[in-house]
Amino acid sequence: MKLPVIKQIQRTCTVAEIETTIQVLENTSEAASLKEEELDVIGELISNCCGALEVHQLIADGMPEKEAGNAFMKKVLNSIDLK
């Protein structure tokens, strides 16, 4: 996940557009002919889109845009097991 990419998606796409993109990427990822590297890229795109959806929701709940991006990334980093 990359915060600048998440912010770009969040700023330039509606929730409906992001949801459609995720659906298309998930369906595309099921193609048997995809290589591992291609699946990794699709997975990264899906992760960034999901992050953008979460940032959209934080903003809709009243959080300022900059704070929403930072709060989302903090949540992601806190979920990583650093053991």
Residue 27 CA to its chain's centroid (Å): 16
The domains of the chain are located at: 3-79
66 compared with 52, residue with greater pLDDT:
52
Q: What is the pLDDT of residue 80?
A: 77
Two tokens at 60? 């809709």
Where is pLDDT greater, at 41 or 66?
Answer: 41
pLDDT band at 77 (very low <50, low <70, confident <90, very high): confident
Cβ partners under 8 Å of residue 49, min gap 6: 9, 18, 21, 22, 25
Please spell the DSSP secondary structure of 11-39, one letter per residue: HHS-HHHHHHHHHHHHHHTT-TT--HHHH
Of the candidates 79, 19, 10, the residue with the CA atom closest to the CA atom of residue 2: 10
What pLDDT does 81 receive?
65
pLDDT at position 69 over 60: yes
